[in-house]
Structure 1
Amino acid sequence: MGDPREPPGGTPEGGSNDDEFRSVVFDESFVRAARIQELSAKERLAGAFGRATRPRGLGWFTLPRQAVALLLLVALAFAAAVYFGVSSPRGQVAPPSGAQLTISLTPLAPAGTVTGVADPANPFAGLPAGYADGPAGLGVPTAAATAHFTGSDVQRALASVQHYLVVSELTPATVTANETRGLRDLLTSGELAQYDDSVNTPRDDQHHSATGWMVRFDPGQVALATDTVKVRGSIQIAELDSGTLEVTADHTLVYALRPAGTTSDPSVSLYTVRRAVHFELDRADLDTGRLRVVDAAVQAGPTSCGVVQSAYLQPVLATAAGVRPSSPPAVDPGDHSRPAWQSCGVLGPITG
């Protein structure tokens, strides 16, 4: 007698016995994970869906565990990047690279009455020998190789410094027309924020005086009697270290000034500025033609003591009758209510 589990006619050709599928177990978790679910008898009778099956919704709980873990990992990485990359401790942003310029300004008060030059058409006639016109007086040395820099490197450094000096103290647009963009283009990126702050909101704090970066006068008050500036001084270059050149420029500049606008007084005044400026240039600076201005010490007169010179230098301009400012005040070294760097001197005759 045949096996009651077999069909009456035996196993059809090409078919298989149920024993072959007994190893496949459709447990409860398998059924719950199915993407298609058969409708219940009540749902089929109600005709709610118009079909015998419905798709199961996809969601977090139907995704593979590996996919959920990967999504969580990406979210955590993004959150960490936002926290550590965009934010910083106490909300502070890392300061820009580059040296910060330190500035000292010393007004030189006139010792007596300020009078105009004898010949306004030839205002520099009374200067001692040794002064030259503009760039010719800068005293740029011949470039020579150093221990770690070639002669070409030194030449590029000197050219950058000379360019800065010409723009910052000899160019009329800078001196009396409030032009600041040309000078900005010569600075390294690390000093741009300080420079912009100095120009936009100048203040006497040893770091943000516009007159530390350049020589300039208020165009509403002062005009150049001639575009020529007399200059005397020198430029020294040395190695600060194996990767940095150090350049020091020390010059005395004499400007011929008059009041701005139309005036019936033809008086022309001489105004003297000494600038000692310290620069540093590394190899990247040489390639870009930019430089870092590290220190600037400025003495200028005739200027009244106590005037604010962070935005503009404040010359005492002569008149036909002469001008006698008040005498410089005495300085009390025990008075700590004023910063120690705010000092004043007396302008002596130009002898060299």
Structure 2
Amino acid sequence: MGDRGEPPEGVPEGGSGSDDEYRSVVFDESFVRAARITELSAEERLGGGSRAIRHKVGAGAFTSLPRQALTLLLLIVLAFGAAVYFGVTAPRGDPGQSGATQLTAELTALAPATGEVPAADPSSPFASLAAATGYADGSAGFGLPAVRTATAHFSQSQVSVALDTVRRYLEATELAPAVLVQGQTAPVRALLAPQEQDQFDQSVASPADDQHHSATGWMVRFDPMRIALATDTVKVAGGVTVTELDPGTLQITSDHTLVYALRPAGAVTNGPVSLYTVRREVRFDLGPTDIANAQVRLVDSVEQAGPTACGAAQADYLRPLAVGPVGPVGSAAARPGAVDPADRSQPAWQQCAVLATPTGS
């Protein structure tokens, strides 16, 4: 028997038995381990094709990308697909809960009928108000519906909550001294639906007489540097109506005449007092979400206010005329006729007009 280095049949003839002559073609162990072996399929073996190696089908340019890059690309594709899916399937909210809701406001200056603004009695500033006009103190004059019934698509509870929210908004914007003469705006903003808060913020930060960004369209307010309240009592007369605009919108309209007793800021207690009259008609739209959140959306705000000089800039504050003689308040062409702010049977939309019966005379 040959040794372990010889083939079983013995050393071939003419051979030396040495593997020196094959040394140049024998692969070392590291080369063999690194070799890539690709097994032929059964079909290739039977077909006797000319290719000895079957190449893998690659992914083109992606095969040259690092694994991390491929993972990142896959995550981006998945994120984009998720964004598209949730954008299409996201709930749309209440009918009538439009993100484009914005307030449209109009203010009419009412100039004094005579060449002066009369003074009121400081001890009883509202004594001259006619009893027949139905004025009451504060929110008692709002005239909220006594019977709060349901509508076709809003329950009695929803209507009741909506009216209470409107009442609180009217109290904040027409009666609260902090808003009227102290420059506060947060109590008003808190009652607005989110889609109107940006417009409100712009109106307060940069008031403009463009029918959309006047601070006085959202609330009654006077310049704290010029005007103070002679009394916290505000006389109010008017009413509130409720209708269903559509299945998703409850519409509430308030129409009130408000009389304020004012004096110059910093004046002594017995300083001159004048009465300032504002007719304010406001239309609110509320959807189910607004009602649930106790917030309102203002649609229209129309005001008549005087005595004020025609042409006075009033986007930031209302500008009452002081007691005493006044200069020119506007041309005759700019004052088409007399307007009585207590007469709510007439449209509130006007141009600059004359205060028909100066309050307090």
TM-score (norm 2): 0.71
CA contact under 8 A between 1:111 and 1:327: conserved in structure 2? no
CA contact under 8 A between 1:328 and 1:346: conserved in structure 2? no
Counterpart of 1:346 in structure 2 is 354
Counterpart of 1:282 in structure 2 is 287
CA shift, 1:26, in A, is 5.2
Pairing 1:134–2:142 present: no
Matches within 5 A, 1:198-213: 198-213=203-218
The amino acid of 1:114's aligned partner reads V
CA shift, 1:72, in A, is 2.9
Stretches of structure 2 lacking an aligned partner (at least 5 in a row) = 11-30, 38-62, 87-97, 336-348
For residues 27 and 233 of structure 1, do their structure 2 counterparts lie closer, same or farther at Cα, with a shift above 3 Å needed? same
Counterpart of 2:306 in structure 1 is 301
For residues 176 and 7 of structure 1, do their structure 2 counterparts lie closer, same or farther at Cα, with a shift above 3 Å needed? farther
Instruction: Name the CA distance, whole Å, in 2 between partners of 1:265 and 1:134.
Output: 23
The amino acid of 2:101's aligned partner reads A
Instruction: Name the CA distance, whole Å, in 1 between partners of 2:184 and 2:66.
Output: 64
**Cα deviation per residue 1:24-72 (whole Å; 9 max; x = unaligned)?**
x9597639xxxxxxxxxxxxxxxxxxxxxxxxxxxx95956xx754433
The amino acid of 2:144's aligned partner reads V
Q: Find 1:242's aligned residue among 247, 269, 285.
A: 247
Q: Find 2:36's aligned residue among 13, 25, 30.
A: 30
CA shift, 1:289, in A, is 0.5
Counterpart of 1:99 in structure 2 is 101
CA contact under 8 A between 1:303 and 1:314: conserved in structure 2? yes
The amino acid of 1:127's aligned partner reads L
Counterpart of 2:167 in structure 1 is 162
For residues 125 and 81 of structure 1, do their structure 2 counterparts lie closer, same or farther at Cα, with a shift above 3 Å needed? same
For residues 197 and 63 of structure 1, do their structure 2 counterparts lie closer, same or farther at Cα, with a shift above 3 Å needed? closer
Counterpart of 1:146 in structure 2 is 151
TM-score (norm 1): 0.73
Instruction: Name the CA distance, whole Å, in 1 between partners of 2:70 and 2:148.
Output: 64
For residues 68 and 201 of structure 1, do their structure 2 counterparts lie closer, same or farther at Cα, with a shift above 3 Å needed? closer
Counterpart of 1:326 in structure 2 is 328
SS in structure 2 at match of 1:233: strand
CA shift, 1:5, in A, is 3.9
Q: What RMSD over aligned residues (CA atoms) do the two structures have, in Å?
A: 3.3
Instruction: Name the CA distance, whole Å, in 1 between partners of 2:201 and 2:212.
Output: 12
For residues 332 and 169 of structure 1, do their structure 2 counterparts lie closer, same or farther at Cα, with a shift above 3 Å needed? closer
CA contact under 8 A between 2:334 and 2:352: conserved in structure 1? no
Counterpart of 2:43 in structure 1 is none
Instruction: Name the CA distance, whole Å, in 1 between partners of 2:218 and 2:353.
Output: 21
For residues 279 and 69 of structure 1, do their structure 2 counterparts lie closer, same or farther at Cα, with a shift above 3 Å needed? same
SS in structure 1 at match of 2:263: strand
Instruction: Name the CA distance, whole Å, in 2 between partners of 1:324 and 1:144.
Output: 50
% identical equivalent positions: 49
For residues 226 and 71 of structure 1, do their structure 2 counterparts lie closer, same or farther at Cα, with a shift above 3 Å needed? closer
Instruction: Name the CA distance, whole Å, in 2 between partners of 1:246 and 1:304.
Output: 34
CA shift, 1:208, in A, is 0.5
CA contact under 8 A between 2:235 and 2:258: conserved in structure 1? yes
**Cα deviation per residue 1:189-230 (whole Å; 9 max; x = unaligned)?**
000100001011111000000000000000110110000000
Pairing 1:73–2:74 present: yes
Instruction: Name the CA distance, whole Å, in 1 between partners of 2:171 and 2:256.
Output: 12
The amino acid of 2:72's aligned partner reads L
**Cα deviation per residue 1:74-123 (whole Å; 9 max; x = unaligned)?**
356669999xx9xxxxxxxxxx9151000001100111121101x21100
For residues 264 and 30 of structure 1, do their structure 2 counterparts lie closer, same or farther at Cα, with a shift above 3 Å needed? same
The amino acid of 2:356's aligned partner reads G
Instruction: Name the CA distance, whole Å, in 2 between partners of 1:208 and 1:323.
Output: 32
Q: Find 1:259's aligned residue among 237, 258, 264.
A: 264
CA contact under 8 A between 1:110 and 1:325: conserved in structure 2? no
Instruction: Name the CA distance, whole Å, in 2 between partners of 1:300 and 1:223.
Output: 17
For residues 78 and 124 of structure 1, do their structure 2 counterparts lie closer, same or farther at Cα, with a shift above 3 Å needed? same
Counterpart of 1:114 in structure 2 is 117
CA shift, 1:131, in A, is 0.2
The amino acid of 1:311's aligned partner reads D
- How many aligned positions are there? 283
